[in-house]
Structure 1
Amino acid sequence: MATTALYWLTHDLRLCDNPALRAAAASADQMLLVYCVDPSWFQPGQFQSRPMGQHRWRFIYQSLRELDHQLSALGQRLLIRFDDPETTIDQLIRKYRVDTLVRSHAVASDEQQQLEQIRERHPRLHIAQFWTHTLFSPDHLPFDLQHLPTTFTQFRKAVESLHISTPLAAPGQLPPPPIAVEPSHWNELPDATADITLFSGGESAAHARLEYYFADQLPAHYKQTRNSLSGGDTSTGLSPWLAHGCLSARQVIDRLKRYEQERVRNDSTEWISFELLWREYFQWYAQKFGVGLYRFRGITSKPPLTSFYPGRFRKWIEGETPYPIVNACMKQLASTGTLSNRGRQLAASCLVNELSLDWRYGASWFQQQLIDYDPACNWGNWQYIAGVGADPRGGRHFDLEWQTRQYDPLHQYIQHWAGNSELKLLDHVDYVDWPIVPEHHD
């Protein structure tokens, strides 16, 4: 009797350097590959924002279309289901008598919970998980995950000399799907159009960007340009493809090492490696703390001294605060789904420190808007700014006027995004001049 493997794709939308795909192909006579588009992604959540915004959804849709095309050349197909993963995976396991379920290790705690529900429903099912989203696996780390260093600096010193495996080639063949497998549900998916196209989803676009960036002098000047507020080549620009697994971090490191051997190794190329280790740290940080990644108090024992003021939050979202540099950042984010690392820090610091707002609302808005949303990096960085995460200094408060003089002295960025159109007031007042704010939000 033929054995069947089900490969549940999540943040691993690629053929190259994909150990989960290779394992699924080697484990059975026939194989299903499925991606679940959860309808809850497009509904407002606990913090008023949607888990999935239009910019990121368009990128994912393009990535799925390309992956389906790649799989067809290998005699396979990508099954798309517009339903929650628990229901979809359960149905496929029962209908096709799946022997082995394969997937990448979950990044976020809610994904881990979904897998546990499936495990409970199918206790005899063999489940295999693979580390496709990180540079290392737990076995390679020089510490137990529960003893993850409390600061990034400690983590970097512990892992920067570790060997990083060479990326795997794409498989040359795959087992066929079961006979008469049902068609994909592409026509049920939400509209994937967007007004502005800055990034194209998919593995081929990821490799094109990787080669473009490392083709000449851009990596050699990364440290000098990385804090810029705008400019397509001031950073590597690889984060959207890394976030959705169209490209692996190991592939980036491998290309960086080749650049250093063939061209130059300097402070800038080392800083690219440094940034990839920051990303790595947050992946293990999320694994260790689980739901603590989303708690108001974060991983600390005390909640921050912030609340929630709907009017202030709306002005922050719309770029209508008294802070022109932040307004410009928020308008760029809403329009394009992109924002520089410096811009993200300034917008987050403003929400937490100037507006005294619950940091989770800001993190959720970034989750909705960012094309390159990564649960670990987004929520970990917001905790860092809010003082409830891994920062030993207890949070970061940026002087917005100084930051403007440093990074936008001629106000070109502010003018481009209309951040300083008029004087903005922080709060409205009622007829006796009492600020209209809600009660404290716990």
Structure 2
Amino acid sequence: MTTRGIYFFSNDLRLHDNTLLAQAAGEVDELICLYIDDTLFPSARYRPEPLSTKRNLFKEASLAALESQLANLGQMLWRYQASSLKQVYALISHLEINLAYVSKQVGWFEQQVFHQIATNAPQLNWQVGNNHTLWSEAELPFKLSELPGSFTGFRKKVESLATKAPLIKPSSLPRPMHFQSDKFSLSRQNQVSLGNESFNGGEQAGLTHLAQYFDSNAPSYYKTVRNELDGWESSTKFSPWLANGCLSAKQILTELNTFERHHGANESTYWIYFELLWREYFQWYGHRHQQQLFTFTGIKKQSPLTSFYPERFAKWCQGQTPYPLVNACMKQLNQTGYMSNRGRQIVASCLVNELQIDWRYGARYFEQQLIDYDVASNWGNWQYLAGVGADPRGQRHFDLTKQTQLFDPQGKFIEKWQGQCDLALDSVDAADWPC
């Protein structure tokens, strides 16, 4: 009897270190590889549409690269772009598929998609794996319900845990299934694009950057430059490939450990691991708190003293506030799809504290713009800064004058990104009456 499987690519757009794909390769005779586009997920009140050009290009390039790699192994990547899952259920029934593989989803909306498929295709036996974290849930030294309420508590429990070595890419895959694609509204049209000038989407681009970074001496001085607002070498720049699953956290950690063995460990190399742990914490934070990741009161169930001012929000998005450093950061984001970690903290603090706007609007705007958007890291960090998340200190308020003095004392960043703006913050009041 022929065993047939379906692999749902999602946050794991790669062949290397893909334990779930390796499992599928060993269990099924025939396989269909399917990617369900983000446009399928339910839109939310605070989500701007559509995704930015930069973010979309990086995703498209990553999918095109994955399709090419699968083709080298005799497989195909299919995409489903409709707003209903009915034809996916029909495809599963038509092909008599009995095994389904999917990486564990952090996002609550993404989870609902696969819950719908499972409900409407009850014949499927699901295999859910951890393709986006350093450890599986079973490897954590605590139950998920007992996840520490702060990063420090989490770090102390997991910092010394061993990690499994990343897998090499499979040498072969099960043969593809053939069917009439237009009958089920499936497509293989992937836009081939390099993304943007610095970040090229796809697994091979990610592996190339990973090798180049650890072939340099940059890891040895990372901590001294990590707060710079601009510049390719000011941070590791792994996040776009991590967020799209073109690289795994285990691959990065393995290269970091190799670098330390050959060149020595110091505070900077440790800090790279430290930040991988921050990412890991937010992944499990998302799994633990589910829908609370998106609620105004966060996990602390307390309402920030903010509201929504459409004019202020629009000016924040466009980089037209009274705060030049904030403007420069937002214009950098809008033009490149990327912003430094320090910049993200600065603009988020401004939105919540100076502009007094509901933090969720900022989180949604980042979701639209960032090429390295990661549901757990993005929403977890915004909650943290707004005082409704994992920060035991409560709301974080950055002094914008001090931040400018520290990180752009000569005004070069502000000048480069044209952060100066003469517009008043408000031209109307809260009731939209002219000021």
Asked if these proteins are the same fold (TM beyond 0.5), I'd say: yes
Aligned-residue sequence identity (percent) comes to 47
Tell me the distance in 1 between the aligned counterparts of 2:151 and 2:302.
21
Higher mean displacement: 324-333 or 173-182: 173-182
Q: Given that residues 294 and 360 in structure 1 are in contact (C-alpha distance below 8 angstroms), is that contact kept between their aligned partners in structure 2?
A: yes
Q: Given that residues 39 and 82 in structure 1 are in contact (C-alpha distance below 8 angstroms), is that contact kept between their aligned partners in structure 2?
A: yes
Q: Given that residues 57 and 192 in structure 1 are in contact (C-alpha distance below 8 angstroms), is that contact kept between their aligned partners in structure 2?
A: no
**Matched residue, 1:336:** 336
Residue identity opposite 1:18 in structure 2: N
Tell me the distance in 2 between the aligned counterparts of 1:174 and 1:351.
48
**Matched residue, 2:284:** 284
**Matched residue, 2:323:** 323
Tell me the distance in 2 between the aligned counterparts of 1:332 and 1:98.
46
**Matched residue, 2:139:** 140
Residue identity opposite 1:30 in structure 2: E
- The SS at the match of 2:102 is strand
**Matched residue, 1:185:** 187
Deviations 1:65-109 (A, max 9, x none): 111111111111111222247335323211211110101001201
1:40-439 to structure 2, matched below 5 A, reads: 40=40, 45-47=44-46, 49-50=48-49, 52-84=51-83, 86-180=85-179, 182=181, 185-187=187-189, 196-420=196-420, 422-429=421-428, 435-437=429-431
Shift of 1:198: 2.3
- The SS at the match of 1:236 is coil
- The SS at the match of 2:367 is helix
Higher mean displacement: 201-210 or 75-84: 75-84
Q: Given that residues 181 and 187 in structure 2 are in contact (C-alpha distance below 8 angstroms), is that contact kept between their aligned partners in structure 1?
A: no
**CA 1:286 to 1:253, structure 2 compared with 1: closer, same or farther past 3 Å?**
same
Shift of 1:395: 1.6
Shift of 1:353: 0.3
Q: Given that residues 428 and 436 in structure 1 are in contact (C-alpha distance below 8 angstroms), is that contact kept between their aligned partners in structure 2?
A: no
- The SS at the match of 1:214 is helix
Tell me the distance in 2 between the aligned counterparts of 1:264 and 1:304.
45
Higher mean displacement: 207-216 or 275-284: 207-216
Tell me the distance in 2 between the aligned counterparts of 1:262 and 1:63.
32
- The SS at the match of 2:175 is coil
Q: Given that residues 300 and 388 in structure 1 are in contact (C-alpha distance below 8 angstroms), is that contact kept between their aligned partners in structure 2?
A: yes
Tell me the distance in 1 between the aligned counterparts of 2:152 and 2:172.
42
Q: Given that residues 226 and 234 in structure 2 are in contact (C-alpha distance below 8 angstroms), is that contact kept between their aligned partners in structure 1?
A: yes
Q: How many residues align?
A: 430
Tell me the distance in 2 between the aligned counterparts of 1:85 and 1:268.
48
Residue identity opposite 1:111 in structure 2: E
Deviations 1:204-253 (A, max 9, x none): 10011001111121000000000000000110011000001000000000
Deviations 1:177-220 (A, max 9, x none): 12346375245x7x787995321111110011001111121000
- The SS at the match of 1:35 is strand
Residue identity opposite 1:243 in structure 2: A
- The SS at the match of 1:233 is helix
Shift of 1:17: 0.3
Residue identity opposite 1:163 in structure 2: A
Tell me the distance in 1 between the aligned counterparts of 2:130 and 2:366.
25
CA RMSD, Structure 1 to Structure 2 (Å): 1.9
Q: Given that residues 11 and 244 in structure 2 are in contact (C-alpha distance below 8 angstroms), is that contact kept between their aligned partners in structure 1?
A: yes
- The SS at the match of 1:64 is helix
In the alignment, structure 1 residue 29 sits paired with structure 2 residue 34: no
Higher mean displacement: 75-84 or 364-373: 75-84
**CA 1:193 to 1:139, structure 2 compared with 1: closer, same or farther past 3 Å?**
closer
Residue identity opposite 1:61 in structure 2: E
**CA 1:82 to 1:275, structure 2 compared with 1: closer, same or farther past 3 Å?**
same
Residue identity opposite 1:272 in structure 2: I
Q: Given that residues 332 and 339 in structure 1 are in contact (C-alpha distance below 8 angstroms), is that contact kept between their aligned partners in structure 2?
A: yes
Q: Given that residues 50 and 364 in structure 1 are in contact (C-alpha distance below 8 angstroms), is that contact kept between their aligned partners in structure 2?
A: no
Deviations 1:8-57 (A, max 9, x none): 0001000000011111112211000011124357x974115126322111
Q: Given that residues 240 and 371 in structure 1 are in contact (C-alpha distance below 8 angstroms), is that contact kept between their aligned partners in structure 2?
A: yes
**Matched residue, 1:432:** none
Residue identity opposite 1:54 in structure 2: T
Tell me the distance in 1 between the aligned counterparts of 2:332 and 2:392.
31
Q: Given that residues 51 and 367 in structure 1 are in contact (C-alpha distance below 8 angstroms), is that contact kept between their aligned partners in structure 2?
A: no
Tell me the distance in 1 between the aligned counterparts of 2:84 and 2:414.
42
Tell me the distance in 1 between the aligned counterparts of 2:37 and 2:309.
32
Tell me the distance in 1 between the aligned counterparts of 2:417 and 2:100.
47
Instruction: Give ranges in structure 2 of 5+ residues lacking alignment.
Output: none
TM-score (norm 1): 0.94
Deviations 1:286-333 (A, max 9, x none): 000000000000111211110000000000001000000000000010
Tell me the distance in 2 between the aligned counterparts of 1:40 and 1:166.
34
